[in-house]
Structure 1
Amino acid sequence: MHILLTGSSGWLGRFLAPRLRAAGHKVTGLDVAPGPDTDILGSVGDRNAVDRAFEQGIEAVIHAGALHKPDIVRYPPQAFIDINVTGTLNLLAAAKAAGHDRFVFTSTTSLMVSQTIRDESGEAAIWLDEASGPLVPRNIYGVTKLAAEGLCRLYAAEHGLSCVVLRTARFFPEDDDTHRMPSGENLKANEFLNRRLTVEDAADAHIVALERAPALGFETFILSAPTPFDRADASELKRDASAVIARYFPDAPMLYAKRGWTLPASLGRVYDWRHAERRLGFRCSTGFAEVLNALREGRAMPFAHDPSYLSPKEQIAT
């Protein structure tokens, strides 16, 4: 198929485009920033740019381009609406007009996190799956991504366009923009317990979603590394996460100590990955067990960590 990939110069796009070509697809990349996989410079919020892309004979869309949570300090709310909502509508309308049978949308688990969930004030870790709700996003990023999901649902229901929504957990390479302790690499390693996946796994999931979309119709999936925990662990995870981790991984405290790292003392929420395995047929290949294996063997971490990473759109803005 000839795939339109939005966000082709971004962190996910640079991993996804080569995988699409390796799977036998032709890729046309659309992004506001230049890059090796970007063929058309333009914004999804510009219907003319979208139309130019579709003139190339596009047969399916993977919509990975967006403004993200760190962009909140850089762009006004209207920009999030223009890109994340109007941009998605532009692509859906063009896909419908072209008679497409599949559309894959990159969403975020962030839209599931209300301020109450973020505050983690309860007595047990909150278990988040596709049935969790009501959804009350805490910022403009989450609000616009949830609205875009609604548009995908609408086009599936009213126009028969099969849409797969992938709510990805964290996979960015840079340091967290709100948490500084523990250090970036230590924090990322910890997050594989409950709220992170590798960018490679995120890209692979999009390939699977593209293939499976017509059989699924409309479906939403959480993408996160397989958590070792069970719902029955929720109270103890909030009270003493380190003890729970040591029960599942007895040598984890020693491996972390040798690296000078700290295990989380408390976990306030866990993303459940199981629906994606059951229904989509996808399971992340890298989880916390692989992180510990790298520590045991003295290898590099199986995830990307780049504190200096700056998105291509911000590179051209500076």
Structure 2
Amino acid sequence: MRLLLTGSSGWLGRFLAPRLRAEGHVVIGLDVARGADTDVIGSVADRALVERTFGEQGIEAVIHAGALHKPDIVRYPESAFWQVNVEGTRNLLEAAVAAGHDRFLFTSTTSLMITAAIRAGKAGGAAEAAWLDEDFGPLQPRNIYGVTKVEAERLCRQVHEESGLAVAVLRTGRFFPEDDDTHSVPSGPNIKANEFLNRRLTVEDAAEAHVVALEKIRALGFGTFILSAPPPFVREECVELLHDAPAVIARHFPEAPELYARLRWTLPASIDRVYDPSRAERLMGFRCRTDFAAVLDALARGRELPFAHDPAYVSPKEPIEQRG
């Protein structure tokens, strides 16, 4: 199949393009930045470019992974988010319908599910951690990134209902390699390791989920799926997770406190949210391979951590001076 992959020069794209080719697909990459897997330089907001690419490249399906993200909020005006994340998605959906496609993948984010109240957590008066599945709502995203992703998801559903185009909306948890842009303590690797308890997956698992969704969504018609490492917790632990997360973690992983102590790492004192990715496993047969147990196993064996960490990473779309 000839696939258009947007965001092909980005962090996900550089893992996803080779994985798709390994499945026998021809991948046509589109990105505003040059990259090894990018064939067309330009923006999805450029409708003429999108239509020309479809015609010249014989595109048969779309994986729309390109977007402006949360770190871009300090770099770009809100209008750019509407142009890229919303109008760009509209351009691709309408081109796919016009071309008679039977499937479309949209890379969304779990970030759009986080309200100001959830983010405030215990300090904001919450009684328990939020257990987040695809039925959670109403969606009240706290920034322009989330707002435009919600609108793009709405367009995906609308086009599916009007045209019958099969659409998979993949709400990915965190898989970026750089340091957190709002927290510097604990260390980057420590934060990432902790996040495998409730909100992170590897970029390799994110790429694999797209490969699976490309195969499965045609039969499903439409689906929204959270992608995150499977949490070890159950809903009944949400009160304790918010108020004494280390006790809950130690109950599931008795070895964790000692392994963390060796590195002078800290377990999260409070967990304010848990993403539930069970629908993806139930309906698509997809489950992340790397979870918190895999992180602890690497620590116990003295092996390399099973996730990427690159504090110097900057999106390739940014000026060279910012990328070092």
TM-score range, shorter chain: over 0.9
Which amino acid letter does the alignment assign opposite residue 307 of structure 1? P
Q: Could you tell me how far apart the structure 2 residues matched to 1:83 and 1:68 are?
A: 10
Q: Could you tell me how far apart the structure 2 residues matched to 1:174 and 1:276 are?
A: 26
Deviates more, 1:273-282 or 1:59-68: 273-282
Query: Following superposition of structure 1 onto structure 2, how do residues 1-318 of structure 1 map, counting pairs within 5 Å?
Result: 1-55=1-55, 56-120=57-121, 121=124, 122-316=126-320, 318=322
Which amino acid letter does the alignment assign opposite residue 130 of structure 1? E
Q: Could you tell me how far apart the structure 2 residues matched to 1:276 and 1:183 are?
A: 31
Query: C-alpha displacement at 1:52, in angstroms?
Result: 2.3
* SS class of match (1:157): helix
Deviations 1:262-308 (A, max 9, x none): 00111011000111110121000000000000000001110000000
Query: C-alpha displacement at 1:316, in angstroms?
Result: 4.7
Which amino acid letter does the alignment assign opposite residue 57 of structure 1? G
* SS class of match (1:313): coil
Deviates more, 1:116-125 or 1:154-163: 116-125
Which amino acid letter does the alignment assign opposite residue 8 of structure 1? S
Which amino acid letter does the alignment assign opposite residue 249 of structure 1? F
Q: Could you tell me how far apart the structure 2 residues matched to 1:282 and 1:22 are?
A: 18
Query: C-alpha displacement at 1:84, in angstroms?
Result: 0.1
Q: Could you tell me how far apart the structure 2 residues matched to 1:315 and 1:17 are?
A: 23
Which amino acid letter does the alignment assign opposite residue 98 of structure 1? A
Which amino acid letter does the alignment assign opposite residue 26 of structure 2? K
Q: Which 4+ stretches in 1 moved above 4 angstroms?
A: none
Gaps of 5+ in 1: none
Q: Could you tell me how far apart the structure 1 residues matched to 2:216 and 2:58 are?
A: 21
TM-score, with normalisation over the residues of structure 1?
A: 0.99
Q: Could you tell me how far apart the structure 2 residues matched to 1:251 and 1:112 are?
A: 32
% identical aligned pairs: 70
Which amino acid letter does the alignment assign opposite residue 19 of structure 2? R
Conservation of the 8 A alpha-carbon contact between 1:30 and 1:42 = yes
Residues 31 and 317 (structure 1 numbering): CA distance in 2 closer, same or farther, change over 3 Å? Answer: farther
Q: Could you tell me how far apart the structure 2 residues matched to 1:116 and 1:265 are?
A: 18
Q: Could you tell me how far apart the structure 1 residues matched to 2:16 and 2:319 are?
A: 21
The number of aligned residues is: 318
TM-score, with normalisation over the residues of structure 2?
A: 0.97
Deviations 1:21-67 (A, max 9, x none): 00010000000000000000000000122122212000000000000
Conservation of the 8 A alpha-carbon contact between 1:224 and 1:272 = yes
